Amino acid sequence: MWLEVKAMFSVIAIIFAAIVLSQIIMLNMLLGFLLIVTIGMIVIGDLFIGHKITSNHLDVLMNPVKADEEICILFTLSGMVDFVKTRKGPLGTRQFVYHKKEATIINDGSYPIRFVGGQRGFVGHENFDRNVDLYKAEALSKTPGNDVKEIFQKIKNREGVKHYE
């Protein structure tokens, strides 16, 4: 939504510059050329910023979410962080599409997050079917193992954490 507003303001500015350009070209070719280059740089800069925002999925953080949606901060297996808009489902499930496949994660509400824009969210991991409680995840560095599900199971058994299964 905000990218569209920025694009609208840029278009209006370019129209005003074109009006000025039509008068300047008659008076001085050099100033007209510099104004054309300036307009081109504004357009290329806007396209570059818009491409970076949409290719990195940051537009999810900028746009408001509906009442039946939440944002998931998804940690992938490759160590990257991605922002995914999820739809609320029955019994705390959140459905979303990732890598062109339907995916589901369970948000039990143990670690809710609010983003700067007021959107609701939670933390998830690509290899774990529940939301990740970051307070409990601190113990991951002290627990041996590589599989996220196995490590969380060890932590639950060791610390006496309530099982949700």
User: What is the percentage of the chain residues whose pLDDT exceeds 70?
Assistant: 83
What pLDDT is attached to residue 20?
81
What pLDDT is attached to residue 88?
92
Give tens-digit pLDDT for 61-120.
Answer: 888 888 899 999 998 888 888 899 999 988 889 999 988 889 899 988 888 888 888 888
Output the pTM of the full model: 0.62
What ranges do the domains of the chain cover?
2-55, 66-159
Mind spelling out the 3-state secondary structure of the chain?
A: CHHHHHHHHHHHHHHHHHHHHHHHHHHCHHHHHHHHHHHHHHHHHHHHHHHHHHHCCCHHHHCCCCCCEEEEEEECCCCCEEEEEEEECHHHEEEEEECCEEEEEECCCCCCEECCCCCEEEEEECCECECCCHHHHHHHHHCCCCCHHHHHHHHHHHHCCCCCC
Q: Which of 34-48, 70-84, 130-144 has the lowest mean pLDDT?
A: 130-144
| 23: Cβ contacts below 8 Å, ≥ 6 apart | none
